[in-house]
Structure formats: C-alpha cells, structure tokens
Amino acid sequence: MFPNMNTADMIIENAKEKRGGSWINHSIETGKCAKKIAELCGMDGEKAYVLGLLHDIGKSTDGQFRHILEGYKMMSEMGYDTVAQICLTHTFPIKDITTYVGKFDVSIAELEFVQNKITKYEYNDYDRLIQLCDSMVMSKGPVTLEERMKDIIMRYGSVYPVEKRQIIYSLKEYFESKIGKDIYSVLNVDEYGARKILYINGSEKMFEKILIQN
C-alpha cells in the first residue's frame, strides 16, 4: 500500500499540529524537488513527492536519530512499507549508522535494528533521490550541497563525514547524468550567490575546516 499525494499532504498537516517547526517546510520542499527531478528522468513524480514529503515524518516526535526510527514505525503501522523504508534510508547514503550527524538518542538495540534494516535493503533510485534532495534542501527551499552541509553542521555541532559527503556529490552527478542537466539549474539554485554569502559571512574557511577534520 502506498499513500497518494492528498493522503500524504493530510499526514503532514496532522503532523504539523502535533509538532510544527522548520522540518515541515523542509519536507514539503524536499517533496517538490524530488518530484521535479523524478519527472525529468522517467521516474514516478507523484511517488517521489510522497517519499520526499514524508521522509522526516518521525520529526513529529521529538528527537534527532530517533526521528528515523519513529518515522519507520509510524509508516509501518499505517501499512506504508515503501515510505517506512525511506524513513530509514534517507539519512544513510552509506549503509553505516556511525555516519549520522547528530545525537544518537536511542538505545543500542534500536541502533542495531536500524543498522540491520539498512544493511538488508537494496537501495533503488527513489532511496538515492531522497538522499540527494534531503542533502540540498532547507526549509527555505533548495540550496547548494555546501550550504546544506554547513547548516547541518552548525545545528548539530558535529562533523560531516568525508565519505558521506563524497557519496552525496556522486548522487548529484548520477542524477545529472540521467536528466542531462545540472541539478542546480533545474532547481533554480544560485550556486554563485550561495558561495558569495558563505564568504561574506566569514564562514567558508571554517566550514571547509570542519569538513576536513574527519
């Protein structure tokens, strides 16, 4: 069973009443970006939108790593197994839970559960697409990968693993090869403007240093 767009929109609206925040807009924008890219490379745009919209549904409960597990549980209970899978895989382009950027606010048993699940999953292009879109969308909309990574580092006070960063860039290249266009141009991301803002704010060198640390 898979929710249509209207059902997914209602799920988000209900989640907003339960626990609002910037994650709502991030989810909506992720869905929009996923739909746009999907339609350009022959994928199901509606399916991509729903998966992008609901990938962070676990954030309707409080928590960092916990949102991954809670989203999986919520979607599984509703019978939406494909969405449940995305709730787990969207954070792990590398199948290694230690690459998570943020607080591990779950038990050892729960960590092992997530690790076992993502290890067994065979990632498809929908997993990869949501991983990419999640990595370049903020609540205000799509941004460069650099700006999004900086945002994550600053909010969670952690490093962004080099190997994870490399995989994200390779995902961008992968989908660009499928659609024959630059992802930033497709999503109207001002790459030059974003780099200029980082430089003006004096955070470009600090950002690079944080990335290199790991």
Q: Residue 141: beta bridge partners?
A: 138
Taking the whole predicted model, whether its pTM rises above 0.85 is answered as yes
Between helices 5-18 and 45-54, what is the axis angle to 10°?
10
Average of per-residue pLDDT across 172-181 = 97
Residue range of the domain that includes 118: 5-212
Number of domains in the chain: 1
Stretch (H or E) spanning 89: helix 81-89
Reference 127, options 159, 96, 92; nearest CA is 92
pLDDT, tens only, 101-139: 889 999 999 999 999 999 999 999 999 999 999 999 999
pLDDT, tens only, 25-43: 999 999 999 999 999 999 9
